[in-house]
Homo-oligomer: A and B are copies of this chain.
Amino acid sequence: MSGTAEILCIGTELLLGNITNGNARWLAEQLAALGISHQRQAVVGDNRERLIAMVREASGRCRVLITTGGLGPTPDDLTTEAIAAALGAPLVEHPQVWATIQARLSARGRPVAASNRRQALLPVGAALLPNPTGTAPGIIWTPDPAGLDFSVEPGFTVLTFPGVPSEMQAMWHATAAPWLRDSGLADGVVASRMLRFWGVAESTLAEQMADLLEQANPTVAPYAGAGEVKLRITARAVSAAEADALLGPVEAEIRARSGSVCFGADDDSLAAVVLQQLRARGQTLAVAESCTGGGLGAALAAVPGASDVFLGGVIAYANALKQGLLAVPADLLEVHGAVSDPVACAMAGGARRATGADWALAISGIAGPGGGSADKPVGLVHIAVAGPDGCHSEGVRFGSSRGRSWIQTLSAGEALNRLRLRLAT
C-alpha cells in the first residue's frame, strides 16, 4: 500500500530507558498532520547488524522510512553507514558538507575534530537533508534497488534526522515536510487546529465534547499536559481549503461550549496571550516570585518580543527579600505567614511600586517536598494579581503527589491565567 511511512528511532539510550522517545511522538504528530498514514514505529540500539536488518525489513514494507538518531560524530553513530550498507551503496564525502561543519564549529569556538568529518560521508546518490542548526546533516535517499537480493517497496525512500529534537524539528519544517507534501504520499490533505485550555479537567472537557469526540471527520482528540488541556481538531479533505472549511464550525462549537477556559489555539502560550492583551492596552507587567523562583518571569521572557510589556521583577525566595525588595511589612509575614493572601498582595503591590509596571503577578507557595504543615500543605500556593484597579489574591491547592516542578509549573500557569481572565473582563 502506497502512502505508508514508518519511524525508526536509533539509540541504545532508548533501549536502556535512559530517555523517553519524544521524537517518535513528535514525528507521528507531524505525519498525521500531513495526512500520511503510518503503521509502525521501531526502536533499535546503536548496533550495526540490527540496524541493517531493520532498514532492509522496512524497505520491503513501507514507502518512506524516517529515522532519528545516530548521525553524530562518535563511533556509536552508525545510522548513515548502516543504511548505505543495508541498501548496497558506498559512502562518498560531500566537500561542502565538510566545509559547513568546520565553519559551524569554528563559529561556536569549538575545535574541529577529525571525527566530525565522518558526518560529511553520505550514500552515493543520496540528496542532502540540510541541518540548519547543527553539524549533522541528514539524507533524503531513494536507493536504486538493482542488484539487491531482497525486494524493496517501489519508490522506497529514507529520510534521516539527528536525535537532538530541536535539530530534527528544524530540518523537518525546512525540508522534510515540504518534500513529503509534494511526494504524493498524503491521503488527501489534513488540516488541524489545537485548541488550548486552562482551568478545566481533561475528563470534564471530554464529557462536554463527548459527541464531537465520536466524529469521524473532523476528529477531535483530547490531550492533557502540565495543567493545560488541549483538543486537537483534525479534518481530512481533497484540498486545504475544504479541510479548513471543515475545521471552522467544530472549532466554533468547542469554543462556544467551553467558554473562557479556552485561552488560545495552536502555538499560543498563556504567556503570549497575556503579553498580547497588555500590548493592546499599552500596559506593562512585573512579577514577584517566591516558590517559583523565576519560572513565571522565564515563561514571559520565553516569548519573542516580550520586552515591550514585561519589565522584570523580583525573585523573593527568602522572606528577607520580600521585606527588603518588595517592602512586605514584617508583621504581615508574622501574622499571616509568607504563604497567604495578604503577603501575596503585598508582594504584588511592592513589585508594581519597585518597577512602575501597571500590573504585577505575585506567587507565594509551598513547592515541597519539605515545608508543608497541616493547615498549609505542600502544593498550597497563593497567587495575587495587582493592577490599576486594585489587588486580588486567592489560594489554590495543587496537591503534593506530582512533585515540586509540577507545582512550580502550574503556579506560573495559574498566575498567567488569572491575569488573562481579569484582562478579558
Contact = CB atoms under 8 A, between A and B. Distances in A.
Interface of A: 12-22, 24-32, 38-47, 50, 54, 72-76, 105, 107-111, 113-116, 132-133, 164, 166, 192, 194, 201-204, 206-207, 210, 213-214, 221-224, 232, 234, 287, 289-298, 300-302, 304-307, 310-318, 320-321, 324-325, 354-356, 367-370, 397-399, 401-406, 408
A14 B41 contact: yes
A27 to B, nearest CB: 7
Given A15-B28, A29-B16, A315 B302 contact: no
A298 B301 CA distance: 12
Nearest to A13: B223
Contacts of A40: 42-44, 50, 54
B18 A304 contact: no
Given A16-B221, A21-B25, A401-B133, A293 B304 contact: no
Contacts of A296: 294
Contacts of A194: 18
Nearest to A33: B17
A312 B312 contact: no
A113 B50 contact: no
Contacts of A304: 368-370, 404
Contact of A43 (B20, B26, B41): B41
Given A40-B50, A76-B222, A297-B297, 11 more contacts: A15-B38, A17-B25, A17-B30, A20-B25, A72-B222, A111-B201, A115-B207, A289-B297, A292-B301, A293-B298, A295-B297
Count of chain copies: 2
A160 B370 CA distance: 31
B207 A113 contact: yes
Given A38-B15, A74-B206, A294 B289 contact: yes
A376 to B, nearest CB: 15
Contacts of A325: 312, 314, 325, 354-355
A62 to B, nearest CB: 12
B312 A316 contact: yes
A107 B399 contact: yes
A203 B313 CA distance: 40
A133 B298 contact: no
Nearest to A72: B202
A318 B42 CA distance: 48
B294 A74 contact: no
Contacts of A321: 311-312, 355
Contact of A315 (B18, B22, B43, B313): B313
Contacts of A287: 294, 315
20 contacts: A13-B221, A17-B30, A19-B223, A40-B44, A40-B54, A42-B43, A72-B222, A74-B222, A291-B301, A293-B310, A294-B297, A294-B313, A295-B301, A298-B408, A306-B317, A310-B317, A311-B318, A313-B314, A320-B355, A324-B356
